[in-house]
Amino acid sequence: MKVLIVDDALFIRRTLKMMLEQNGYEVVGEAENGMEAILKYKELKPDVVTMDVTMPQMDGITALKAIKKMNPSAKVVMITAMGLESTVKEAVLSGANGFIVKPFVQEQVLRGLSAFQ
């Protein structure tokens, strides 16, 4: 399964990449913000996107909406440190396929993506 990791924090991107690759996922790309995520999604056509909510230039929910507009069947799992109910609700209404809350552990990430295998 091909995964695109979107997070403004390099540490988070590296952590996710290591977790996923150790468990048989292929990380095809990384992006630091929503604008980059949209471009990389078009270019790389991943099976799943992990998308941070809070990022500079363009937030994850705006990027989620743009990706879903391009491809309504896109699989996007939101990753956020904010467990705010309103944020979760907005992401789900915008088409998010799941949620992972920071700080996360490997089992949580794998469970969040296992539904798409």
Does residue 102 register a pLDDT over 90? no
Which pTM does this prediction carry? 0.94
Instruction: Summarize pLDDT for 62-73 with one digit per residue, the tens.
Output: 999 999 999 999
Q: Is the dihedral of CA 82, 85, 90, 96 positive or negative?
A: positive
CATH classification for the domain delimited by 2-114, as one of 3.40.50.2300, 1.10.287.180, 3.40.50.300, 3.40.50.720: 3.40.50.2300
Q: How confident is the model at residue 101 (pLDDT cuts 50, 70, 90)?
A: confident
- Determine contact, residues 54/80, Cβ cutoff 8 Å: yes
